[in-house]
Amino acid sequence: MVESVVAQSGDPATATPMWFVVLVAIGLHAVVMWAGTFLAWLRRAFLRPGKELCRRYGEWAVVTGATDGIGRAVALELARRGLHLVLVGRNPGKLSAVCKEVRVAAPACKVRTVVFDLAAPGDDDVGGGEMSRGVAKVAAAVEGLDVGLLVNNAGATYPCAAYFHEVPDAVWEAVLRVNVVAATRIARAVVPAMAAKGRGAVINVGSGSSVVVPAFPLYAVYAATKAYVDQLSRCLYVEYKHHGVDVQCQIPLYVATKMSPVKGNSPFIPSPEEYAKAAVRCIGYEPRCVPYWRHSVQWFFASLLPDSVLNLWRLQVGIRKRNQMKVLLGESDHGFS
């Protein structure tokens, strides 16, 4: 009898508290979720194979901004993977040079070119005049072709960091025309045929300036146009997925191109060729992706910081670059610094 009483009185002291069980369960759930996320990232970054683009989408790819940087590198990578190319660029000489490179890299590749200055001013606010004629030239170039892929790579930004009110009208208007109007109108020129045949892919090149950081001061219009590209891509992904058209926004951070303000060697800044291999391997998967694995690592670490810290850092970087350019040009900052 005494032993029974003692045993009963000892049960509450030895039982595991419910709060402890709950905390352990929450901790295990967090660990499992973190491990699953990490393993999924490893697969995306290193193990997931690229799709058979020609068989899945079509024989031809349209690449804008194909004469330099990412666009040129992506065009060469697509040619090596068996696609024929329609290259869009504003410089006939550079287009001819890229054509020669393509034929050396992939002798069986057929190449068409369209000379089109996507920044050319139009007759109205939505890109009339030269813009309409350029888009018509692209539509004519792809007529009758099995176009399976559009890479909307062409992009424009400021020549240097500047406050919003300092950016010349001609500069920010050109940024809008290239990044928003031209990208939208070229997509409209090719998407209907893709949807009609039930297959195709549109790759819009976004920017970390609109996704990775909460704000990108002193490049405001550029970052805003890339936010448009990101949202347009996600909406079109939902609209056309059931029509067999994959729409994707690829998010690069800094790549060693002439548009990049960061110069010099860095393990986080790939060459255009290195980036292009990763970008092509991601085609046809998520509606938004960061193709280059080191860029995704940078995004992860940026996500750990408060928005206020990232905003202050980006503001200081922008102001420093602006002031450096002012010094080089011998201009006054009019009280802004």
The answer to whether residue 21 sits within a structural domain is no
**DSSP string for 225-262:** HHHHHHHHHHHHHHHHGGGTEEEEEE-----SSTT-S-
The pLDDT of residue 310 is above 50: yes
Per-residue pLDDT at 124: 56
The pLDDT of residue 207 is above 50: yes
Task: Please give the residue range of the domain that contains residue 164.
Answer: 57-324
Name the token pair of 298: 């940078």
Tell me the percentage of the chain whose pLDDT exceeds 70: 90
The pLDDT of residue 121 is above 80: no
The answer to whether residue 27 sits within a structural domain is no
Note the pLDDT tens digit of each residue in 83-111: 999 999 999 999 999 999 999 999 999 99
The answer to whether residue 16 sits within a structural domain is no
The answer to whether residue 225 sits within a structural domain is yes
289 DSSP β-pair partners? 250
Q: Give residues with Cβ within 8 angstroms of 139, minimum separation 6.
A: 189, 190
The answer to whether residue 19 sits within a structural domain is no
How many structural domains compose the chain?
A: 1
Q: Which residues are catalytic?
A: 222
Average pLDDT, the chain: 91
Per-residue pLDDT at 128: 59
**Which candidate, 136, 253, 246, places its Cα nearest to that of 189?**
136
The answer to whether residue 65 sits within a structural domain is yes
The answer to whether residue 211 sits within a structural domain is yes
**DSSP string for 252-275:** ----SSTT-S--S--TTS--HHHH
Find the CATH number of the domain harbouring 196. Answer: 3.40.50.720
The answer to whether residue 160 sits within a structural domain is yes
Predicted TM-score (pTM) of this structure: 0.88
At 337, is the pLDDT very low, low, confident or very high (cuts 50, 70, 90)?
low
Per-residue pLDDT at 2: 45
